[in-house]
Chains A and B, each alone.
Chain A
C-alpha cells in the first residue's frame, strides 16, 4: 500500500495542478463577487496540499510494513479487463445493434466468458434479461430504447 499511496499522491498532485491551471484560465473575480474560477482554484489547492501530505505520509512509512500491492493478479485482472471492455463495446454498439441485441450479447458475454457458465445457461439468461428489461423499461415505463439499424 505504501508504494500505491506514493503513486496515488503523485497522480493526484498532477491532477490538482491541472485543476488549478484550468481555474486560472477562467475570468477573474469581478464586481459581483467571486468568479467562476474561484472555487475550482481553492479546491485544486486544497487537493494539492492533501496529495503532498499523502505522499509524505506514505514515504515516511517503513518500507517493509505492507509490501503487498492492493491489486489482484492473474485471472481476476483478466475478468476485470474483459468486463470493462465488454461494457465499452456495448455502449459503442448500442445504437448500431439496438437494445434487444446489445443487452443479450452483453449478458451472454459476461456469463459465458467472464463467469464461465455453460452455453445453455448463458443464452437463456441473456434472452430472459433482454426481454425482461425491455418489458420493464419500454413497455411498462414508456422509455424509448435504441433501435438497431436493422429496424428492431
Chain B
C-alpha cells in the first residue's frame, strides 16, 4: 500500500464518530492541563490511562495524543497572560509573551501562539507521514545490540541534558533503571527487590510512580507559596486575536525554520518539546536582524518557541511509533499506555496494526485543526479558568491522582507507591534532581535490560559486540561523547589554569 492509500485508510478510521469525539475530549482536556499550572502533560496523560481502559486501543491512544498536543497549545496561554508557564515546554514563551501582554498585545500573542502551533504541528505530522514508515523499515534490521545502543543513547542524552547538574541527572536516570528492576525478572523468573510484597511482583507500576513523582510532588512543592489568585486584564474579541500583516512578516520564516529544526530534534530519542523550544528561541535570536529586541515583547519571540514545541511533539512520535523508543517524559508515558493496551510499538507495529498507526497519524491532523478552533475563540474561556484559585484546585488534583492511580489495578498498594514517590519527588525537586529521567528510565528499563542480556548472550559475554556492529557503534559513541564531553572541557580548563600559574 502506498503512503496515500494508508493515509486515506487512516482518515477513514479517524473520522469515525467515536474517534472524533474522543479526539475532541482529549484535546480539550489537554488544553486544560496545559493551562492549569501545577499539572503537566506527563501527569495528564498518566491519569488518563486507567480512564481509557474500556476503550479500544486506537481510540485510547488518539485521546492521549490529543492531550499531548493540547497541552502544548494550552501551556502558552498562562505563559503569555500571567508569566507562569503551564508546563515546561512553555517556559520560553513567557519571555516575550508576557512582555507583549504588558504592552497590551496579549491577544495577538495568544493568536500567534495558536497559529504558529497549528502550522508547526501540521508540518510535523506531514513529515511524520513520510519519514516514519521508511524508518520503521530500516529498524526492521535492528538486532538486540542496536536496540540497546538506541535506548542507551536516549537515556544518556536525556539525563545529560536535563537539569543543571549532569551528575544529578545521571543519578535520576540510574534510579529509574533500578526501580525498573523491581519485580519478577523476565528471563530467569527470579524475584527482585520485592521485599515480600505480592503487589510488587509486577513491578512498581509506572503510572503510580509517574503520578507520584509529578502530580503529588508538585502539589507538595506548591504548598510552600501561597499560590493565590490571578488577575487578567486583556480583552479577547475574536478579531483582536489575529496577528496583523507585520506580525506575519516577522514570524513566518521563524515558524518554518523552527518547525523543521524541532521536528528533527524531536526524532532523536532524548530531545523533547522543552529543549526544542529553548533551541528555537536561541536560534531565532542568533539569526535575527535585531537580536537585542528579543525579550522585550516581539512576536517572533512567541512564534518561534511555540512552533518548536509543537513540531517536536509531532517529531517525538516518529521514534515512538517506528522504533518503540520514547524521546521525552510524555512520550515515555504514551509508550507505557501503548504497552498497557497490548500494542508493541516498533517497526512491526506498522505491519501488524496498520489501522492503528495510520488512524493515529490521521487523527493528529484532525487534532491540530480542533486545537486551532479551540484555542482561538475559546481563549477567553481558558483565561477565566485561571481565576479559579489554586487553593481549590489543589485538593482536586490530589484526589483525582489518588483515584486514577487506584483504578489501574483496583489495588490500594498502588496508592502507597504513589505517596512514597510523591515524597521522593518532592525531595528530588528540593535537592535539584530532575524527575523526567526517572520516568524515562522506568519505561525504557525493561527494554534496556532485555536487549543488553540478549546481546551478551549472542556474543557469549563479549562486550565488543556493541562496537563491531556499525549502527550500534555509532549510537553508543554518540552516547559516550555526550557523557564525557563536559568532563573533557573540565579537564581542559584545569590544564589551562595550570599553564597560567606556571
A135 CB-CB contact with B under 8 Å: no
Q: Once the chains are docked, how many angstroms separate the CA of A115 from the CA of B456?
A: 55
> Are B171 and A50 in contact, CB atoms less than 8 angstroms apart?
yes
Q: Which of B80-88, B172-180, B344-352 is found at the contact surface with chain A? A: B172-180
List B contacts of A19 (CB < 8 A): 178
Q: Once the chains are docked, how many angstroms separate the CA of A85 from the CA of B466?
A: 49
A129 CB-CB contact with B under 8 Å: yes
List A contacts of B51 (CB < 8 A): 136-137, 141
Choose one: A47, A94, A95; the contact of B175 (CB below 8 Å): A47
Interface size class of A (residues with CB under 8 A): 35 or more
Choose one: A22, A38, A79, A83; the contact of B453 (CB below 8 Å): A38
Q: Once the chains are docked, how many angstroms separate the CA of A72 from the CA of B177?
A: 30
> Are A36 and B185 in contact, CB atoms less than 8 angstroms apart?
yes
> Are A125 and B177 in contact, CB atoms less than 8 angstroms apart?
no
List B contacts of A67 (CB < 8 A): none
Q: Once the chains are docked, how many angstroms separate the CA of A5 from the CA of B164?
A: 14
> Are A39 and B449 in contact, CB atoms less than 8 angstroms apart?
yes
> Are B185 and A111 in contact, CB atoms less than 8 angstroms apart?
no
Interface size class of B (residues with CB under 8 A): 35 or more
Choose one: B174, B398, B449, B457; the contact of A47 (CB below 8 Å): B174
Least CB distance, B477 to chain A, in whole angstroms: 19
CB under 8 Å from chain B, chain A span 33-58: 33-36, 38-40, 43-44, 46-47, 50-51, 53-54, 57
CB under 8 Å from chain B, chain A span 4-45: 4-5, 8, 12, 19, 22, 26-27, 32-36, 38-40, 43-44
- Report if A107-B190 is in contact (Cβ < 8 Å); known contacts: A32-B457, A50-B167, A71-B430: no
B391 CB-CB contact with A under 8 Å: yes
A110 CB-CB contact with B under 8 Å: yes
Choose one: A22, A53, A70; the contact of B430 (CB below 8 Å): A70
A62 CB-CB contact with B under 8 Å: no
Q: Once the chains are docked, how many angstroms separate the CA of A116 from the CA of B413?
A: 30
Least CB distance, B238 to chain A, in whole angstroms: 32
A106 CB-CB contact with B under 8 Å: yes
> Are B399 and A133 in contact, CB atoms less than 8 angstroms apart?
yes
- Report if A72-B224 is in contact (Cβ < 8 Å); known contacts: A50-B167, A91-B412, A125-B395: yes
A103 CB-CB contact with B under 8 Å: yes
Q: Once the chains are docked, how many angstroms separate the CA of A43 from the CA of B449?
A: 11
Q: Once the chains are docked, how many angstroms separate the CA of A136 from the CA of B404?
A: 11
Least CB distance, B416 to chain A, in whole angstroms: 6
A64 CB-CB contact with B under 8 Å: no
Q: Contact mask B223-260 → A, CB, 8 Å, 1/0?
A: 11000000000000000000000000000000000000
Q: Once the chains are docked, how many angstroms separate the CA of A36 from the CA of B448?
A: 13
Q: Once the chains are docked, how many angstroms separate the CA of A145 from the CA of B177?
A: 32
List B contacts of A57 (CB < 8 A): 167
List B contacts of A43 (CB < 8 A): 174, 177-178, 181
Q: Once the chains are docked, how many angstroms separate the CA of A134 from the CA of B296?
A: 48
List A contacts of B392 (CB < 8 A): 111, 117, 121, 125
- Report if A114-B223 is in contact (Cβ < 8 Å); known contacts: A50-B174, A83-B398: yes
Least CB distance, B68 to chain A, in whole angstroms: 21
- Report if A115-B178 is in contact (Cβ < 8 Å); known contacts: A54-B171, A83-B220, A106-B399: no
- Report if A54-B456 is in contact (Cβ < 8 Å); known contacts: A36-B187, A91-B419, A141-B51: no
List A contacts of B391 (CB < 8 A): 111, 115, 117
Q: Once the chains are docked, how many angstroms separate the CA of A32 from the CA of B51?
A: 40
Least CB distance, A117 to chain B, in whole angstroms: 6
Least CB distance, A96 to chain B, in whole angstroms: 11
List B contacts of A144 (CB < 8 A): 410
B400 CB-CB contact with A under 8 Å: yes
Q: Once the chains are docked, how many angstroms separate the CA of A114 from the CA of B400?
A: 18
> Are B412 and A8 in contact, CB atoms less than 8 angstroms apart?
no
Choose one: A79, A133, A145; the contact of B400 (CB below 8 Å): A133
Choose one: B394, B395, B403; the contact of A137 (CB below 8 Å): B403
List A contacts of B402 (CB < 8 A): 87, 90-91, 106
> Are A51 and B187 in contact, CB atoms less than 8 angstroms apart?
no
Q: Which 5 A-B pairs have the closest CB atoms?
A: A33-B457, A110-B395, A36-B190, A36-B185, A76-B224
Q: A39-B177, A91-B415 are in contact. List 6 more A-B contacts (CB 8 A).
A: A12-B171, A70-B431, A84-B419, A84-B422, A87-B422, A91-B416
